[in-house]
C-alpha cells in the first residue's frame, strides 16, 4: 500500500494533475460524491471549497488514510456499482481513475444517474491503459509490454467509452476532453517497473539518469448532465 500511495501522491502533486482536478470540480454543485476516492485528496479539496463532499472507496485501508488526511470530508466504504447513497441525493458525481478497475463499468454509470439529482453533473476521468507512449529503442517489446499491462486490468480501454457510457445511461450535454500528460523525470520509474523488468527497465533507468526518459499518456475527461 505504501508504494501505491507514494506513486498516487506523486501523480496528484503534478501541476497538470492539479489543474485537471480543478477542472473537474467546476460543474459539480454543492453536494458531491467522489467514487473511488482513494486517499481522499479530491474530497478534501472540494470540502475546502464549501461543498459537502463524500468519498467512497472499496478499500477500507484507503478510507482509513483518507479520514486521517482529510478530516473535513465524509468517507464511506462502498462499491461503485452499489453506492451507499439515496436516489437523487447529490448534485455532482466524480469518478477519477476508477472505471478501468470494474468488470461492468456501465453499472457504475447507472449508479451515477441514480444518485444524481435532476440536472446533476457526472464527471469521469481516466487514462486509456493501452495508449501509453514510452520512448524505447525496442519498439516491439515496448508495445508488447504496454499491451500486457493493459490486459491485466478488467477494462483497460474504458476511457474511450466514457462518452457512449454516459449517453447510453440517459445523460445529455455530454462533452469529452483529452489532456496529455508528459513525464520525463526519474520519479516515474516505479510506475514503469509495473510494465517490465530486466534489460528493458535498465534501459529506461539509464534514460532517466541521462535526462532522456519520455512517457506520454492521454487522460480523458468526460462529463454529462442527468436529464430529468
Q: Is the pLDDT of residue 1 over 60?
A: no
Report the share of the chain in percent with pLDDT over 90. Answer: 87
- Between CA 152 and CA 148 the distance in angstroms is 6
| 192, HSE (Cβ side, Cα atoms, 13 Å) | 28
CATH of 2-127+154-180+219-226, one of 1.10.1760.20, 3.40.50.970, 3.40.50.150, 3.30.365.10: 3.40.50.150
pLDDT band at 3 (very low <50, low <70, confident <90, very high): low
Question: In this model, does residue 71 exceed pLDDT 60?
Answer: yes
Cell of 210: 541521462
**Alpha-carbon span 131 to 133, nearest angstrom:** 6
* Domain range list for the chain: 2-127+154-180+219-226
Q: Categorize the per-residue pLDDT at 17 as very low, low, confident or very high, splitting at 50, 70 and 90.
A: confident
Q: What is the pLDDT of residues 150-208, one digit of tens each?
A: 999 999 999 999 999 999 999 999 999 999 999 999 988 999 999 999 999 999 999 99
Tell whether pTM > 0.85. yes
Predicted pLDDT at 113: 98
pLDDT of amino acid 8: 75
Amino acid at each position: 500500500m505504501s508504494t501505491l500511495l507514494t506513486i498516487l501522491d506523486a501523480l496528484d502533486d503534478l501541476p497538470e494533475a492539479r489543474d485537471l482536478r480543478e477542472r473537474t470540480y467546476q460543474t459539480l454543485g454543492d453536494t458531491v460524491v467522489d467514487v473511488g476516492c482513494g486517499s481522499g485528496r479530491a474530497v478534501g479539496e472540494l470540502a475546502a471549497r464549501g461543498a459537502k463532499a463524500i468519498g467512497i472507496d472499496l478499500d477500507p485501508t484507503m478510507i482509513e488514510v483518507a479520514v486521517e488526511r482529510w478530516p473535513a470530508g465524509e468517507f464511506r466504504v462502498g462499491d461503485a456499482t452499489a453506492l451507499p447513497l439515496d436516489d437523487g441525493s447529490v448534485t455532482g458525481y466524480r469518478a477519477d481513475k476508477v472505471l478501468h478497475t470494474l468488470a461492468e463499468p456501465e453499472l457504475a454509470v447507472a449508479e451515477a444517474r441514480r444518485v444524481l439529482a435532476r440536472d446533476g453533473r457526472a464527471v469521469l476521468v481516466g487514462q486509456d491503459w493501452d495508449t501509453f507512449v514510452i520512448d524505447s529503442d525496442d519498439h516491439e517489446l515496448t508495445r508488447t509490454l504496454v499491451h500486457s499491462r493493459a490486459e491485466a486490468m478488467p477494462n483497460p480501454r474504458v476511457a474511450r467509452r466514457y462518452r457512449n457510457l454516459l449517453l447510453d445511461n440517459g445523460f445529455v450535454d455530454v462533452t469529452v476532453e483529452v489532456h496529455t500528460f508528459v513525464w520525463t523525470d526519474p520519479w516515474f520509474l516505479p510506475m514503469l517497473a509495473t510494465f517490465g523488468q530486466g534489460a528493458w527497465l535498465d534501459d529506461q533507468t539509464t534514460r532517466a539518469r541521462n535526462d532522456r526518459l519520455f512517457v506520454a499518456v492521454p487522460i480523458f475527461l468526460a462529463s454529462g448532465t442527468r436529464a430529468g
